[in-house]
Amino acid sequence: MRVIVAKDYEEMSRKAANLIAAQITLKPESVLGLATGSTPLGTYKELIARCAAGDISFAQVTSVNLDEYRGLPRDNDQSYYYFMHHNLFSKVDIDCARTHIPDGTEADSAEACRRYDEVVRSVGGVDLQLLGLGHNGHIGFNEPSDSFTKGTNCVNLTESTIQANARFFASEKDVPTQAYTMGIGTIMSARRVLLVANGEGKAEIVKKAFFGDITPRVPASILQLHPDFTLVIDRAAAALL
Ligand code: F6R
């Protein structure tokens, strides 16, 4: 595990963007695993600027996103489909036909999960997986549990995750209660993993997940075992290390 501590959110975002830019420069046909949430927004802004400047290109990149709410149509502005198109895909030169997100509108959850595992398999697995970190240690929507998940699964979101996401919806009752997420096994199969976390609110969980016991009660803790894992955090998130 490599730990990079940046002075603030902007520097964290630039450093994370550096690693992604290097990945797609060295391997233009990379498969990127992408995350939503507030943390990677600065990283995406950096990548958009570098693409506009002609320094990097997504033209040959394939992407597979981590997760999607179950039951939200793509055009709902809280769907992760909408998020990715709004915050990255429409602003870089990526071929949208090569972008993949679990299908939140597929009502048959077993079928949705099976199909998404097949997508990840068919693109040859993930070269670089970008992750954020939930306050309870979740990655993707893999919530604390008795065991680590393997492939794509349909999860019941915990109360704390629903509350954390409520800020994006009109009210807490509008937050979907289930989501499709890539499994921990798939995340661990990525050839490189990059996790970004910022702010004092993440300090406790950063310490627990990456310097504490490896346990499915803190799903991100398994990343300690990944052979090519880089943690990019700001000083506030590193405060308890
Ligand atoms: C999003 C995702 C989640 C978030 C996590 C942190 O695709 O998979 O695990 O990364 O909830 O969210 P933020 O960045 O909003 O603190």
138 is catalytic: yes
How, if at all, do strands 192-197 and 67-69 pair?
unpaired
CA distance 191 to 46: 23
pLDDT of residue 22: 98
With a cut of 90, say whether residue 213 has pLDDT above it: yes
pLDDT per residue as tens digits for the range 1-46: 999 999 999 999 999 999 999 999 999 999 999 999 999 999 999 9
Mutate to test the pocket of ligand 1, among 36, 142, 223 (most ligand atoms within 8 A of CB): 36
With a cut of 90, say whether residue 230 has pLDDT above it: yes
Whose CA is closest to 59, among 33, 34, 89, 100?
Answer: 89
The residue nearest atom 3 of ligand 1, judged by CA position, is: 140
136 is catalytic: yes
Which residues share a beta bridge with 178?
156
C-beta contacts of 199-203 below 8 A and 24+ residues apart: 199/9, 199/234, 199/236, 199/237, 200/236, 200/237, 200/239, 201/135, 202/133, 202/135, 202/233, 202/236, 202/237, 203/236, 203/237, 203/238, 203/239, 203/240
With a pLDDT cut of 90, the percent of the chain lying above it is 89
pLDDT per residue as tens digits for the range 81-98: 999 999 999 999 999 999
The amino acid occupying position 85 is H
98 CA distance to ligand 1 centroid (A)?
Answer: 22
Q: What are phi and psi of 69, to 5 degrees?
A: -65, 140
Atom from ligand 1 closest to the CA of residue 35: 7
43-57 mean pLDDT: 98
**Residue 39 beta carbon below 6 angstroms from any ligand 1 atom:** yes
Distances (CA, A) of 160 to 27, 164, 223: 38, 6, 22
pLDDT per residue as tens digits for the range 143-184: 999 999 999 999 998 888 788 888 888 888 888 999 999 999
Secondary element (H or E) of residue 234: strand 229-234
67 is catalytic: yes
CA distance 88 to 52: 12
Whose CA is closest to 20, among 152, 103, 130?
Answer: 130
Mean pLDDT (the chain) is 96
Residue by residue, DSSP assigns 150-215 as: -S-EEEEPPHHHHHHHGGGSSSGGGS-SEEEE--HHHHHHSSEEEEEE-SGGGHHHHHHHHHS---
Domain limits, the chain: 2-234
pTM confidence score: 0.96
- For 2-234, CATH number out of 3.90.1150.10, 3.40.50.1360, 3.40.50.300, 3.40.50.720 equals 3.40.50.1360
> Is residue 217 within 8 Å of 182, Cβ to Cβ?
no
CA 83 to chain CA mean position, Å? 12
The amino acid occupying position 152 is T
With a cut of 90, say whether residue 70 has pLDDT above it: yes
**Residue 56 beta carbon below 6 angstroms from any ligand 1 atom:** no
**Residue 129 beta carbon below 6 angstroms from any ligand 1 atom:** no
